[in-house]
Structure 1
Amino acid sequence: MRRDQLIGATENLANALESSKIHQVLLSAIRSSKDPISPNQLFSAYASFMTAYANFGPTEKYLMKLFKVERLIVPEFWEGLIKQDGSPSSMTVRRGITLVTEFLPSVARMLERPSDKSNLAFENPVDPSKTVDSEKIRFFVRDPGVPTLTVGHFSSILGAIEELHSAIETVEQTKHSDLVVASLDSGSDKEFDLLGVAAAVRKLSETLLEVWSRIQSARATKAKVNYGAACEGIAVLVKLNAAEKSNAIPKDQAESIRRTIISSITHLFENGVYTEAMEAQVNPLPSALPVDRRKLLTHQPSESAPLEAPDEGSASNEEI
């Protein structure tokens, strides 16, 4: 589980519980032995929560199980409230809801980073009194189970990103700029934020997303993915071809840039690298793709088996 997934899942679950007013309904159902709660109130709370639950991912469902509120999705639990059968599960669920809505969001806020909230800008090299707008791009590196990502792998990934970013700037005929490492994080997948000049970063994100859309189409038809073929005709290469034909970029340089773009994108995808924008797309998720690395580490046997946090990539959408 990644830090950003935990923060987002906490917000989603707490909002679903608060907006459905389940806590108030449960409290009324437990206390109102002489004046039973209206079935319509129970159904309204249940329907509201289940609407939100339909969009929950593995992390939200994991939190529900961890805080023992997973019975909220069981119809028999709500039937018991209508019948006022005095089931102790009602008290357990109510305590869990209190923890999720009143305490867990505060814990999640402690995990937020200053860089998530601040707007940073680059100094203008021509006029130091002015700034250049920046934009952040979040990358993830697929690393399921036992860590397999070596220093060499990570170095090559950063190099491929830098080469692709530089090639795009050349095609766009913009001044070359550096990418700054804004943050590093880990979890089920490794995560890092890079900060760069806004225009170039947007083009970098759009290029990767464009190729990913083609990969999705190939996987939907169960065809074997050819990353080089998926790059054919993408916007940045079309613009490069036009610049080559107009002699804005010499032929030899254009061919070198073309190879750099295709090889960099291929290297990133083959090493399980994906962006936040790619993850927002429909299935298959990039975090679910396999990564072929040599296994260097293994788990030592443990006497106890705690509740495992989900791996967003490999987890299914099955209910708890």
Structure 2
Amino acid sequence: MALGGNPIFNGKSFRGATQAPPVPQAPYGHQPYGQQPYGQAPYGQAPYGQQAYGQPQNMTDEQLRQMYNQPAAGPADTGRMTYDDVIVKTAACLGVLLVGAGVTMFVGLGLASMLMIVGALGGFVLALVNTFKKQPSPALILAYAGLEGLFLGGLTRVLDTMYPGVGLQAVIGTLSVFTVTLLLFKSGKVRATPKAMKFFMIALVGYALFSVVNLVMMLTGLTSEPFGLRSGIIGVVIGILAIGLAAFSLVMDFTSIEAGVQSGAPQRFSWTAAFGLTVTLVWLYVEIIRLLAILRGDE
């Protein structure tokens, strides 16, 4: 798909499968491949006046007209990726994610916290596996969605206990950001240009480095705040920046999907597109619910 887009889409053989092999050339003085000498009928075709093998027989003019007036095969008929494929696969991933999240709602808070940790670690491992696999694996992608469901469900359960209503607010916020980003992309007002992607990568590396330092400080007890360095006004500013990065990652996803459909990528890569969208939506939800918790904690 689009080069330089979402890293999940890079390294996949999207375009190679759409190129037809070269036509073999016959040596000088020989008849070209697939052609017969003058006066001889090509293989599979009958001489003049005789019925060719495999052609319809005893068909009326109306039947022939209906047969030849049928529309040409579309992308779905030729095994190519379509927007409908991506929507269906993404819906499947989100459905499995919701099932995983629902599990944490019917268990105790302590068990939900344990499932949150299991989902976070397992989801991280499968995210790496699915990202570096050359060919998408629907089973692994759906397994990733289920584990992320456990993580998001447990996280929501813990934070919603501390700050009632924050989970529903995060869901509404995630859907709102996704909808606005999609509308802006469809209108052409937002595009993943090379210059924008360069700034995105710089900001993403900086944010990742900050997150690692913050996590280490929290684990070692160097900070006693619930969100470490992400508290107060600094936490709000970083949270808004992170949501902006996640929103632009959606733009990169949309760009890669559009490029895949237009270039006729194989249908199986609709799973890759669904995986990329799921990863970004998980990231976006986590950033929104964390920002809301920080704001509620400062009240």
- Scaled by the length of structure 2, the TM-score of the pair is 0.27
- The structure carrying a bigger helix percent of its residues is 2
Greater CA radius of gyration, 1 or 2? Answer: 2
- The structure carrying a bigger strand percent of its residues is 1
- Scaled by the length of structure 1, the TM-score of the pair is 0.26
Higher relative contact order (CA 8 A, sep 6+): 2
